[in-house]
Amino acid sequence: MKALSVTARRALLALALFAGLAALLISLGSTSRATALLAELINRLDPRLLLEHRDGNLLHGRFDRIAWRDGELQIVLLDVAWELDPLCLRRRTVCFDTLRIGAVEIHTASAAADDGPFALAPLALPLAIELQQGTLGSLGIWRGDQQLLQLGDIELQGALEGSVLSAGRLAASHDGIHAVIEGRIDLRDQLPIDARARLSRELPTNA
């Protein structure tokens, strides 16, 4: 058998290191106390990230607040709970059996700083994400003090790999209008979106 090439050896070493790191993180977060200490350590390592642990471990976690601030962009997740499948880490994928978020708030620069259309920075994740069942109570987007969008009762099933979101089902409500979207969305681009949507509206009831 020929010796492995340098590229192959490096690939195997990278896979081994990733598997070891994943096992270490799961081991460190195997208990509620260890997960709280790990969250505190992460907070100290990167001040842009805030993790407020409530209870549970990494596989069955509950956090009061997860926040990220980078310049004038702030993303806040409130009342977060999840259940993870650890076997997915072997294929460099984070698999959520369930993911429940009470609210997501996105704050950007003030309206005076930028009068152009709203746009988030391009997104490409280093790990793939699969979501079997996800619910989000509300999603709010602000530019300064101006609220640009408010959605509620959001449900999501799908996968995110790199920058491509494959939505098996994305449902949301706004002012009595219900929308269900299926398709693929590349988060590096604002448009176009390859998706199918169904809209329905609640009819007012007579008193």
Per-residue pLDDT of the chain (207 residues; tens, 9 = 90+): 444 455 555 555 555 554 555 555 555 556 888 788 888 888 888 888 898 999 988 888 899 999 988 888 888 999 999 998 888 877 878 888 999 999 989 888 765 555 555 555 555 566 788 888 899 898 888 888 888 878 888 888 888 776 677 877 778 887 778 888 787 776 666 555 566 767 777 666 655
In angstroms and rounded to an integer, the radius of gyration of the C-alpha atoms of the chain is 20
H/E stretch holding 20: helix 6-28
CB 106 within 8 A of CB 100: no
CB 54 within 8 A of CB 36: no
Neighbours of 53 (CB within 10 A): 22
pTM of the entire predicted model: 0.71
Among candidate residues 62, 64, 61, 68, the one with its CA nearest the CA of residue 78? 64
